[in-house]
Amino acid sequence: MKRKSLFVLLMLGFFWGGLSGFALAEEASLKAQLDAIEARCPADYGQTLGAPPTLEALDKLSIDQLVKKLNHWSPAYRVQISKALAVKGSAAIPAIVVGLDDPNYQVRCGAATALRTMWRYYTRELDKRKRMHLPVSKKEIGDVEKVKAAISAQVPKLTELLDDPQPLILYQVTNLLGDLGGAAQPAALKMLEISVTSPDWVGGPSMRFLDKYIGFKEADPEKVLPLLTKMIRHPKPRARGHAVRSIAKYGDRAKVAVPDLIWCINNRAMRDGMFADGSRVQALQMLANWKIKEGIPLCVMVAKENRWGFGHRLPAALKALGTYGTMAKHTAPDVKKLIESWAAQKHKHGDHKAHVKLAEQTIKAITEEPKRKR
């Protein structure tokens, strides 16, 4: 027995020693790779793989010196340079704008990042101080207006950058244009085209701006609707949701998208699953408002889906079904079966009191003829 124990301990020792040796070899290999990367980094970058310099250190540099450092390979370093340039105010904008035309994509990306950082630094700081009821001098307000005017004047140049092949530049530019809001209207149609082809690089600010743009009188339906219709079939649910929400603003004109809306309901986006149902339930309601009969079985299908998001999806599907009125009378047995199935699944979804009530209201809406007005 003792011999077996000693043998086991000996084997464990060999195994542990082997793992330790492997780990040390991996660490040495990684260190060699990092040393090789550092050796390739130009010395004038200052720091390479270490942390970016502090704002206090960068504040001592001139605007031209800071702009030259925008070509650093590290995004974290470029962001820090952008913050230092933001502090310099509108005086730094002409030098930054020159970087937007640089052949080096890192410089272009750094310049776009610097403009976006400056816009947010000034507008958000001023808004924050107003919300906190802190005193704001006329000079500070004037400085903010100078920065906003100077950056807004770059919309034509930023619009040209929407053709840049580098996705990081595209991300910074589209979101800066989104932050600019109404001043970015000349770039809106091109931004919408980008959001169809590359929505992964179009973030929240630009999407929110485009949502507003769809309601502007300048948004030509003949140009916008085909783009939104294409976006309905995008693999990302957020892109689909933006498209369906925007296309609904066109009312009956949006009926050209009916085949795509039906496709969207039948083909749930598999990426980012928690956002996948928003576009589907809104599409259901649009079909119901237009009394598109193909939407009736889709309402029943979505109501029966027993998975995550049930509490949001079921009421929306039943509401859309009720909108059809007696057109959907033949689906009443399906709704009754749903009520029966919920009674058998108390342990899973609670007692479903609210859902049962809504289902009963739906049955009433689709089976009773509406009272005629006298």
Spell out the residues 6+ positions from residue 48 whose beta carbon is closer than 8 angstroms to its own: 37, 38, 41, 74
3 or 90, greater pLDDT: 90
Is the pLDDT confidence value at 16 over 60?
A: no
Residue 22 is predicted with a pLDDT of 45
Confidence of residue 209 (pLDDT cuts 50, 70, 90): confident
Least Cα distance to 299 among 314, 289, 278 occurs for 314
pLDDT of residue 328 exceeding 60: yes
Looking at per-residue pLDDT, the higher value among 45 and 364 belongs to 364
Residue whose pair of structure tokens reads 């749930």 in the numeric block: 268
| Percentage of the residues of the chain whose pLDDT score is greater than 90 | 27
Q: Are 283 and 290 in contact (CB under 8 A)?
A: no
Band of residue 34 on the pLDDT scale cut at 50, 70, 90 = very low
86-110 per-position pLDDT tens digit = 888 888 999 999 999 988 888 898 8
| pLDDT computed for residue 307 by the predictor | 81
Q: What is the pLDDT of residue 13?
A: 57
228-255 average pLDDT score: 87
Q: How confident is the model at residue 171 (pLDDT cuts 50, 70, 90)?
A: confident
Q: Give mean pLDDT, residues 200-217.
A: 73
Report the alpha-carbon distance of residue 102 to residue 115 in Å, rounded: 15
Residue 204 has pLDDT above 60, yes or no: yes
Q: What is the pLDDT of residues 120-135, one digit of tens each?
A: 888 887 777 777 777 8
Note whether 247 and 268 are within 8 A (CB): no
pLDDT of residue 23: 46
Q: Is 309 exposed, middle or buried (0-12, 13-18, 19+ CB in 10 A)?
A: middle
Give the domain ranges of the chain: 42-197, 225-278, 293-368
SS3 258: helix
Across the chain, what does the average pLDDT equal? 81
Structure confidence at residue 242 (pLDDT)? 84
The pTM assigned to this predicted structure is: 0.71
Q: Is 316 or 23 the better-scoring residue by pLDDT? A: 316
Q: Which of 18-32, 54-68, 118-132 has the highest mean pLDDT?
A: 54-68
- For 315-344, letters b (16+ CB in 10 Å) and e give bbbbbbbbbbbebbeebeebbeebeeebee
Split at pLDDT 50, 70, 90, the class of 350 is low
Instruction: Decide if domain 42-197 falls under CATH 3.40.50.
Output: no
203 has a pLDDT exceeding 50: yes
Query: What pLDDT is recorded for position 29?
Result: 58
What integer pLDDT is reported at residue 45 of this predicted model?
Answer: 41
pLDDT at position 221 is: 83
Which residue in this structure is represented by tokens 């059809």?
Answer: 324
Cβ–Cβ under 8 Å, residues 169 and 105: yes
Let me know: does 338 contact 304? Beta carbons within 8 Å.
Answer: yes
- What span, in angstroms and rounded, lies between the C-alpha atoms of 215 and 15? 67
